[in-house]
Amino acid sequence: MHDTAHDPSRRRLLRGVAAASAALALPAWARTDRPTAAAPITRAIPSSGERIPVVGLGTNAYGVATAEEKAPLREVLQRLARLDNSVVDTAPSYRNSEAVLGELIEELGVRPRFFLATKVTAPDGDVARGVEQMEASFRHLRTDVIDLMMVHNLNGAEAILPTLAEWKRAGRLRHIGITTSSDRQHAEAAALIRAYPLDVVQVNYSLDDREAESTVFPAAQARGTAVLLNVPLGGRRGSLFARVRDVPLPPWAAEFEAASWAQLFLKYSLGHPAVTAVLPGTTKLANLEDNLGAGRGALPDADARRRIEAFWDALPRA
């Protein structure tokens, strides 16, 4: 008798058939890119082993209202869906960004292509308010399962983390974590990483903001916590681009295959061994393409990162 369960080649074949059928259920443009020499780099979330592309998407500017405003965002999501399991990061506080994402993702039929991440707060330890917020996130995102739920800016973290852990055990959340975008909270974030079994920490870090290297990163590395980076391009206020407006890209950027300033900035961060993925925010397809280029090819090693830092530190402030 042929026992499928114990025949690895047959199991592999069936898995291949299942994957091919799943891919065919998606619109043609949404099928995974064929692996090539320049395939997107992926890294594993240590606690689950799940792989995510190293360049995801921040959506704090996705809180829009009109069809004209939604059109470029649809293009961005459609392009990103060609990769498998990209992180799309949102929050209830980004105006109606969650609802816009839910609508566009449903319309494109690409929910399985994304690793959806959102956030929750429990102000003054009010867990009931956090629970209400999370229920609203499920409705707005039009999904039964959220891939990652993080406590936003550590607000009410100790109060609500046990609820997040419970919802994870129940299967409604797949990963849990915390976020901060303020250096002042890094010590507290590191303490939470040491105290709770968190899958992910999302933190501010870039060439111009390296504090997390000495606080959050070592705690995350010691505990096997994945590190996602917010404001990796300096954000809308402190943009890194302002400082290099009239500066040509140095020729040595080619050594780690950075073809633009955005790629140099993102590759710099991805070159740190603690970092799992960066979440640049963009509302434009051309900028997404540029950012995705940072997730392919070579990355700077420790020496190249030191050279980038020396170059950056010598530039006049914008």
- Determine, following the binding rule CB under 6 A, whether residue 155 of this chain makes contact with ligand NAP: no
Our CB check for ligand NAP shows the closer of 302 and 315 to be 315
**Beta strands, E only, 28-85:** 42-44, 51-53, 57-58
- DSSP reduced 3-state for 223: helix
Applying CB under 6 A, among 280, 299, 300, 308 the residue interacting with ligand NAP is 280
- Determine, following the binding rule CB under 6 A, whether residue 262 of this chain makes contact with ligand NAP: yes
Applying CB under 6 A, among 86, 121, 179, 225 the residue interacting with ligand NAP is 179
Site for ligand NAP in 184-203 (CB under 6 A): 202
Question: Among 28-36, 161-169, 267-275, 277-285, which window interacts with ligand NAP (CB under 6 A)?
Answer: 277-285
- DSSP reduced 3-state for 184: helix
Q: With beta carbons less than 8 A apart as the criterion, state whether 82 and 29 touch.
A: yes
CA distance linking residue 280 with residue 293, whole number of Å: 12
Applying CB under 6 A, among 134, 173, 279, 304 the residue interacting with ligand NAP is 279
- Determine, following the binding rule CB under 6 A, whether residue 233 of this chain makes contact with ligand NAP: yes
Applying CB under 6 A, among 283, 297, 307, 311 the residue interacting with ligand NAP is 283
Site for ligand NAP in 3-42 (CB under 6 A): none
Question: Among 17-25, 56-64, 134-142, 299-307, which window interacts with ligand NAP (CB under 6 A)?
Answer: 56-64
Binding mask 64-103 for ligand NAP (x = CB under 6 A): -------------------------x--------------
Secondary structure element (H or E) that encloses residue 200, with its range? strand 200-204
Rg (CA), the chain: 20
Applying CB under 6 A, among 53, 59, 77, 147 the residue interacting with ligand NAP is 59
Our CB check for ligand NAP shows the closer of 163 and 204 to be 204
Secondary structure element (H or E) that encloses residue 114, with its range? strand 114-120
Our CB check for ligand NAP shows the closer of 31 and 296 to be 296
Nearest to 265 by CA among 289, 299, 236: 299
Nearest to 42 by CA among 57, 58, 55: 55
| Helix residue spans in the chain (DSSP H) | 8-24, 67-80, 97-108, 127-141, 157-169, 186-195, 216-223, 261-270, 285-293, 302-314
Residues that bind ligand NAP (CB under 6 A): 58-61, 89, 152-153, 179-181, 202, 230-236, 241, 262, 279-284, 287, 290-291
